A and B are shown apart, each in its own frame.
Chain A
């Protein structure tokens, strides 16, 4: 079985079929939208952060299996985490997806998210996997888009928009 089949057949297909934390939180105090114009992926994140901790988080939108599964697993992974710990995971996920972090060889907090390691070999799909994480970064840092009512991030033209904001 190729890495691609492995990537699709394990956890991702399950999360694509049954996304966790799917929907929106009405009384959210953090929110952001993410777009991938290339494939039409669209993610909307809503969450509640209090005492620097992500108390609740939900996502909705349209996307491919890789994007949806990434969003679904991300919400599960960061729920209950401190904001700074979520930011570390964003960096680590980004590193894994772009091939700069080897999740088996280097210390990290990715856990089950390691299932996405295969996207590094699919350059056209890296953005699909990273989009939810970019969106999370935008939601946690509303000051990055002070002119926009709704923080939003687009992967258009940028291999890695997070680094522009970091």
Chain B
């Protein structure tokens, strides 16, 4: 047959499949799992939400103060911890490690539990300002000794609630739907 025919009928499809296989394999191993339900990594400092938010009933917003003002709720700076831990439980090795890092000005590299892909521009503000409890998406954090991801946080989760937010909203909220249009989250 014509040499160009051979190229298109045999070499090209095989070559394309080989490349596709490589790309998918490499991608599988190197891209983070976005559907990581149940992910509960060990953190550099064994901070327990069960203790602070559960037993001591500290407000979520005390530490994650960005939730009402910014797209990201934020993780508290070491200084927020030291606000109490300058004096409390200074005998604990975890607190001593915290103090050491704080005094040296070294960052604490928390393992991120909740993350969304780069093409999602999630904004905490409208959700928190609408009165939606943090637990709705983050689970019963106040019962977690180690923060665990309870929601896959796929687009379907978001859309499902946006289409019928009744369960997540406080009673008497005038909001009936969340945005379903693309540019609310994808810019």
Q: Do A and B bind each other?
A: no
Binding site for B on A (CB under 8 A): none
